[in-house]
Homo-oligomer: A and B are copies of this chain.
Amino acid sequence: MTDTELPRTPDYDAWPIDADLDTVSFTPRLVTVRWSDGRISRYHGIWLRENATDDTTINPATRERILDLSTLPAWPEVEGAEIDATGALCVDFAPEDRRLRFHPGWLRAHDYDNVSDPEAPLVPVTTWQGGPEAGPDTLDATGLLDTDAGDDAEEAILAPALESVLGKGLVRLRNLPTEPGSLEAIAWRIGPVRPTNFGQLFDVRAKPDPDSNAYTSIALPPHVDLPTREYHPGLQMLHCLENSVEGGQAVMLDGFAVAEALRDRHPEAWTTLTRVRWCYANTARTTDYVWYEPMIRLDARGKLLEVRIADFLRGPLQTAFEDVEPAYEALMTLQRLLRDPAFAIRFTYAPGDLVIFDNRRLLHARDAFEGASGHRWLQGCYMERDEIRSRYRMIQRARRQRRLTTDA
């Protein structure tokens, strides 16, 4: 690469140039640029130094960082800054006596001086109510497994599906194959499955000698799966292979909507459930999972991070003596909200349906069914929320790449 080309970016991503660098000024610690649309952005010298793309900073083969800042002879100081003929920002650093160049599209995309929330979700999160008219976002996925990974036909199905899961925590795909095991190939269109003690895929049907209430025909109250883990799976997929029973309707609730209602209507119960650490336990025949966590968790910025609600997977509460009665009062307040039909959507699985939902946000439940009236067979698996975000970012990257190609 010569200075007649734009510098590489520090990753494999594509960064269209929406505004040009117009002017630049600097102090020893700071570079300030003005963009062609008038925006002013400040970048710290130390930040620029660590995010450079030359071969002393980034391994050119893997595009991963090799620089350890603390091995530099001193805090890197800016002793020159200009915009070169390609439109790149060039910065001269002392004491290394090194000139480093920065791609304007990448710089603009990482403008921490002007971004109010760098951690903004990929898709806005919207909570939802249920009721008799409500249902999941539903998409026709005919032919998904016949598409090529990454092609336009796959993207046409996956992009809106991922948007529903990211925004609402739920999507229903229809008209998928009903071959047992096909869920694994479908799941791989997003990412790797997270196996558990229940296997890579698990079969939800009434079984002899069941090791979970899920594997009976009884009703299941609203719950998340595997709250007994330090980190319960972020995504669950349930794929209907057969359904000819009476009953067994699926019920789904937005746990974040229920939590918000609790906060608004019963603030004391909300405070208790964000604080008291319940015991979640699955002391089964051959495994013994236990974890302690509040039922409602907020992230460092006070936003809802996860709910951990599953009455049949709670062990004995082990908390301060004086917290026990308030905890149970708050729990019963929550349980009453969970039975309010205003939160629930209800639907019947048809063979070929696949429901993908956020298992750290949504609660799922089912009605009892009559085992003798027919067959009800779902296959399920788990995945991390990381995978759905990675897949969606790859779609965004492909769109940026197409813009670059179109602009060129």
Contact = CB atoms under 8 A, between A and B. Distances in A.
Given A11-B281, A118-B279, A287 B331 contact: no
How many copies of this chain sit in the oligomeric assembly?
A: 2
A300 B276 CA distance: 10
B287 A390 contact: yes
User: SS class of chain A's interface: helix, strand, loop or mixed?
Assistant: loop
A305 to B, nearest CB: 10
A84 to B, nearest CB: 21
A175 interface: no
A73 interface: no
Interface stretch (A241-249, A313-321, A347-355): A313-321
A152 to B, nearest CB: 17
Interface string A257-273: 00000000000000000
Interface string A59-76: 101111111111100000
Interface stretch (A17-25, A42-50, A135-143, A155-163): A42-50
A85 interface: no
A146 interface: no
Interface in A291-333: 291-292, 294, 300, 311-319, 321, 324-325, 328, 331-333
A221 interface: yes
Contacts of A69: 328, 331-332, 335
A314 B65 contact: yes
A216 B384 CA distance: 28
Interface stretch (A88-96, A164-172, A206-214): A206-214
Given A191-B197, A325-B44, A328-B47, A119 B292 contact: yes
A51 B316 contact: yes
Nearest to A209: B61
A27 interface: no
A59 B229 contact: no
Contact of A195 (B195, B221, B288, B316): B195
Contacts of A325: 29, 44, 46
Contacts of A385: 230
B384 A312 contact: no
Given A70-B335, A192-B195, 5 more contacts: A65-B313, A112-B321, A119-B277, A231-B384, A288-B397
The 8 closest A-B pairs by CB, nearest first: A118-B318, A70-B335, A11-B283, A288-B393, A231-B231, A64-B312, A70-B332, A192-B195
27 contacts: A11-B281, A11-B283, A12-B284, A29-B325, A46-B325, A47-B328, A51-B316, A59-B218, A66-B218, A68-B311, A69-B332, A70-B332, A70-B335, A70-B339, A112-B318, A115-B318, A119-B292, A191-B287, A197-B390, A229-B384, A230-B385, A230-B386, A231-B384, A288-B394, A289-B386, A291-B386, A294-B300
